[in-house]
Chains A and B, each alone.
Chain A
Amino acid sequence: MISINSITKRFARGVESRLAVDDLTFDITSGRVTGFVGPNGAAKSTTMRIMVGLTRADRGEVRFDGVTHRQLPHPSRVVGAVLDPRCMHPGRTARQHLRATAAHGGIPSRRVDEVLDDVGLTSVANRRAGGFSLGMRQRLALAGALLGEPNVLLLDEPSNGLDPQGIHWLRARLSAFAAAGGTVFISSHLISELSIFADDLVVIGGGRLLAAESVAEMTRRVDRSVSVATPSSAELLTLLRERHIDAIRIDDRIQVRGASADEISQLAHSHHLRITELSEVSTSLEDILLELTRSATEFTAA
């Protein structure tokens, strides 16, 4: 369990200061994949940096099973973090990069070949990282995080630059990691991407917590309705309202909540009303995210 308790961070630049993280509190459960979602500038990266002590919070703390990151005797054996996929010297080979990383973290060098194999980079282990694509760098960065066999993975937008095959592999790898009891905390600004394999979602905007719930709970927020086009709209509206079904006219259509397309079709047919179009309409998780973060989005187009 990772507990984020009231973390607050204000960045000062000259005489100006900006509240980046505002009293953020939530928990991340072990054995689950937790997605961390928010628009650009929501302070996702700052929060993750605070979690591993790279950025100091003005207030509050983050605890991994009751212990702060600074107090961990062997941090890389507990937390594996990928906060920047470019975190490697272009002049070193993948194997040299991982050997140096392993030595620094007190991890046996035999792990280097194991993680290279794990992320599918064995064939390019002796190539310099400067020639790697962004996707290969993402894999190498993930290999570095996995070196210490940690039980927590913190990943900041790890699918950037990955091809569809790579994204599929990443999802499977992280799901397997969580299934084995590990904790995965992964950020993205795309809720649809996370909803495919995350168990829980934490939504922030403007540095504030907007929602922290399971994907299933968030999916239940999805609003479903049926759109009906009919030349007899007045009659159909009356029929629906008589049955206490929520129905409103929008332009030349009727939007119905609380009845399925099949039920509406049956009702119209039994009263000899002609329907020219009948379609189910639902909001997406993206719509929910947009709604949640509407007031907290820092950068929007005019």
Chain B
Amino acid sequence: MMSQTTTSLRNRRNDLAALPGALHSEWIKAISLRSNRALILVAFIGGAATSILVGTLVNNEILYVTDVAFYWTVVSAMFAAVCGVASFTSEVQHGTLPMLLTARPSRWWLGLTKLVTTMAFGATMGIAGVAGGLAGAVLTDLPSGHAGRIPATIAWALGNTTLSAALGLGVGMIVRHGSAAISGLLIWGLVVENLLTVFLPASLVRFLPFYAGTKLLGIESDLDSAEAIANALSRPQSALVLATYAATAMVVGAILLNRRDVE
């Protein structure tokens, strides 16, 4: 019955060798929950519905597939951030975090595993949203616009949802309480940032995380002020801003995971 005696000591090679198994475990966990599959479906339907509604109802300007297909990505990114939060806080809430750490004590590696799977889920959510958006826009017979820009915009859109998921994971690792982290993130993204874009100078607004994420989509709006257009960052710069927030949240979250006792 007893399988092993404790003759050797753990080293980095053991941790590295355990990584595929840990990723497989996260994969099993991700696909086994109906809520995850439902979220991907909602992302697709939301994207399609948004494109169809916008394409059908907006008649006072010419809209292109290259823009409309990506409107929903703003919401997908928020969804991805919420899923990122939940990927860690649900482990805390359901008491599975101690089990993970008892089986594999390296907390840095657990953070890395979570980061990889959460970003993969964020990308999947982005793909579903963009696919729905493109399908809806095509069904509505919108003009394609600069079709050659679509692959690049898809890549930036996936960058937005992927980094947003990582940002959410970092926030979840810091806060650890699911409801508090999700409500805080949504209030920030949907309320606080929108207020700050009104009151702060454009030179500062461009450094807000979700604003920078939206700018990755390259959607031009008539509502943008001349100051905002003048101060706008390029897509790589906006990506760097969002990535910096995500990396900072992840690093702080990983340090706290490493230092805190696990209840």
Instruction: List the interface of chain A (C-beta within 8 A of B).
Output: 49, 52-56, 64-67, 69-79, 81, 83-84, 86-93, 96, 99-106, 144, 148-151, 177, 180-182
Contacts and interface: CB of A to CB of B under 8 A. Distances in A.
Interface stretch (B88-96, B118-126, B195-203): B88-96
Nearest to A93: B32
Interface residues of B, number: 39
Contacts of A78: 4, 6
Contact of B21 (A55, A66, A81, A106): A106
8 contacts: A52-B98, A53-B105, A73-B10, A74-B14, A76-B104, A86-B94, A90-B94, A93-B32
Given A53-B101, A101-B99, 10 more contacts: A53-B102, A54-B101, A70-B10, A72-B105, A73-B8, A75-B105, A79-B102, A92-B29, A103-B22, A148-B3
A146 B158 CA distance: 41
- Return the 7 tightest CB-CB contacts between A and B, nearest first: A104-B25, A103-B25, A87-B95, A151-B2, A105-B103, A96-B32, A149-B3
B10 A84 contact: no
B262 interface: yes
A54 B6 contact: no
A100 B98 contact: no
Contact of B1 (A73, A75, A103, A149): A149
A100 B25 CA distance: 4
B28 interface: yes
A198 B263 CA distance: 27
B94 A54 contact: no
A256 B187 CA distance: 75
Contacts of B90: 89
Contacts of A104: 21-22, 25, 100, 103-104
B204 interface: no
Nearest to B28: A100
A175 B103 CA distance: 24
A268 B249 CA distance: 84
Nearest to A105: B103
Interface of B: 1-6, 8-11, 14, 17-18, 21-22, 24-26, 28-29, 32-35, 90, 94-96, 98-105, 261-263
Contacts of A64: 6
B258 to A, nearest CB: 10
A178 to B, nearest CB: 11
Contact of A77 (B4, B11, B26): B4
Given A78-B4, A99-B28, A148-B3, A89 B94 contact: yes
Contacts of A177: 1
B105 A70 contact: yes
B32 A75 contact: no
B260 to A, nearest CB: 9
A99 B10 CA distance: 24
